[in-house]
Amino acid sequence: MQAIRNLSLALTVLFVAGCSSFTSENSPNLPRNAQWGIVPMVNYSQTPQAGERSEQILLSVLSSHGLQPRVYPTSTQGEQALMDDNERLNGALEWAREQKLDYVVAGSVEEWQYKNGLDGEPAVGISLRVLEANSGRVLWSKSGARAGWSRESLAGNAQTVIDKLVGALRFE
């Protein structure tokens, strides 16, 4: 009976672990007291404003890890709203240099949706990168994806993914 219970527990753990996927790359030691910023997240998903939503969650998660990053001011009017994502990122990096930031966290949203079907599970895919603000050099990057249960929210899944991604950063 104990063997069946142990096997069931092991299978459950494997099943739950199979619902998420993360790349692994070791983070360099980054100074916590440096000047940090968040630049716009590129939205590759089909959900409008998924990038902006993930930026807000990222700000909260970074704050919980002891960082107080500055956030690139966004505009929903005029030409900036119509700009290509790469142009917006280049503008944000220029802003980071003007603000004399040391590091910025950038990224992209690959998936942000409720899957089709009766259960409608939330599915999130997010990539994060830490860039040196002066040079734009990528110091660290990591991606993660998670499909939740039907009673979970997209925001909750995104927070789980972003928290795991940020948790892989090593701070001094």
Q: What is the pLDDT of residues 136-153, one digit of tens each?
A: 999 999 999 999 988 899
For residue 19, being part of any structural domain is answered with: no
For residue 152, being part of any structural domain is answered with: yes
Reading the block at residue 73, the tokens are: 């001011």
For residue 5, being part of any structural domain is answered with: no
Q: What angle do CA 52, 56, 62 make, to 5 degrees?
A: 135
Reading the block at residue 28, the tokens are: 């360099």
On the CB side of 3, CA atoms within 13 Å amount to: 0
For residue 21, being part of any structural domain is answered with: no
Tell me the pLDDT tens digit for each residue of 68-105.
999 998 765 445 555 677 788 889 999 999 999 999 99
The CA distance from 90 to 97, in Å, is 11
Decide if 157 contacts 146 (C-beta within 8 A): yes
pTM metric for this prediction = 0.83
Among 24-38, 54-68, 125-139, whose mean pLDDT is lowest? Answer: 24-38
The CA distance from 126 to 145, in Å, is 6
Q: What confidence tier does 113 reach under pLDDT thresholds 50, 70, 90? A: very high
Q: What confidence tier does 13 reach under pLDDT thresholds 50, 70, 90? A: very low
Give Cβ neighbours of residue 17 (< 8 Å, ≥ 6 apart). Answer: none
For residue 139, being part of any structural domain is answered with: yes
Reading the block at residue 115, the tokens are: 């899957």
For residue 125, being part of any structural domain is answered with: yes
pLDDT reading at 8 higher than 70: no
Tally the residues of the chain.
172
Domain that holds residue 52: 27-171
CATH number at residue 143: 3.40.50.10610
Q: Which residue has the higher pLDDT, 34 or 11?
A: 34
Domains identified in the chain, total number: 1
Region for 78 from its dihedrals, namely left if φ exceeds 0, alpha if ψ lies in -120 to 50, beta otherwise: left
For residue 12, being part of any structural domain is answered with: no
Q: Which residues pair with 117 in a beta bridge?
A: none
Residue 90 corresponds to which amino acid?
N
For residue 9, being part of any structural domain is answered with: no
Reading the block at residue 24, the tokens are: 């692994």
pLDDT reading at 12 higher than 50: no
Q: Which DSSP string corresponds to 117-132?
A: SSS--EEEEEEEEEEE
